[in-house]
Amino acid sequence: MSGGGQSRGSETGAGSILAIAVLGATVLLTTLVVSILALLTVGRSVANAADAAALAAADTASGAIAGYPCAAADATATLNEVTVTRCSVTGPIASVSVARTVHGIDVSARARAGPPPG
């Protein structure tokens, strides 16, 4: 005889629903973490591209490489799959900003390059 008047039939499948909910939450969290890590990697890549573009512009401004500084920065940025959003050269010092859009998110970076102070 059953003591409480309730049958175990109403709880049938509750464990399956709980398992599906936990699995769904795990998949969602994993997707979120992987996406954030991918954006961090892209951010570092964009920063490296900004450094390379600024160095190319500074080398051109100093006369070490023939050409125009901002054109050199733009060519270097294109090779690194970013776009130059700002380029300025003051004497031998070049300042470059670059950007890249990844999954609808703009990732940007700035860099300066030139001879060492002193």
Structure-token pair, residue 109: 């970076």
Task: Round to whole Å and give the CA distance between 117 and 105.
Answer: 36
Number of domains in the chain: 1
Q: What angle do CA 91, 97, 101 make, to 5 degrees?
A: 165
Q: Taking 60 as the threshold, does the pLDDT of residue 1 lie above it?
A: no
Q: Which residue has the higher pLDDT, 90 or 118?
A: 90
Range of the domain at 68: 45-113
| pLDDT tens per residue across span 66-85 | 999 999 999 999 999 999 99
| pLDDT tens per residue across span 44-69 | 999 999 999 999 999 999 988 899 99
Nearest partner of 38 among 117, 111, 100, judged by Cα:
100
Q: Is residue 26 part of a domain?
A: no
Confidence band (pLDDT; 50, 70, 90) for 14? confident
Q: Is residue 22 part of a domain?
A: no
Name the β-bridge partners of 98.
84, 109
Q: Is residue 80 part of a domain?
A: yes
Q: Is residue 10 part of a domain?
A: no
